[in-house]
């Protein structure tokens, strides 16, 4: 069972641009790739990550 968390995103520009999303699952494979120094909380007005949607 995936664990929801507060929204987070990376401050680093992502390629391709559709990767500019926010995550709300700690176990998100894409979210796990965010390095601690690039990790920011909140949605940044971005759409939600598709991988996170699958975990609902």
Q: Please state the closest distance from residue 26 (CB atom) to Zn ion, in A.
A: 10
Q: Per the structure block, which two tokens stand in for 31?
A: 């979210």
Spatial contact of 2 and 27, defined as CB atoms under 8 Å apart: yes
Task: Report residue 18 as tokens.
Answer: 């559709």
48 strand-pairing partners? 22
Among 8, 10, 23, 34, binds Zn ion (CB under 5 A): 23
Question: Does 9 interact with Zn ion (rule: CB under 5 A)?
Answer: no
- Select from 9, 52, 53, 56 the one that contacts Zn ion (CB under 5 A): 52
Q: Give me the least distance between CB of 25 and Zn ion, in Å please.
A: 6
């Amino acid at each position: 069972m995936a664990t929801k968390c507060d929204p987070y995103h990376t401050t680093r520009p992502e390629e391709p641009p559709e990767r500019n999303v926010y995550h709300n699952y700690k176990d998100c494979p894409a979210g796990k790739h965010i390095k601690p120094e690039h990790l920011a909380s909140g949605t940044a007005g971005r759409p939600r990550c598709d991988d996170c949607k699958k975990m609902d």
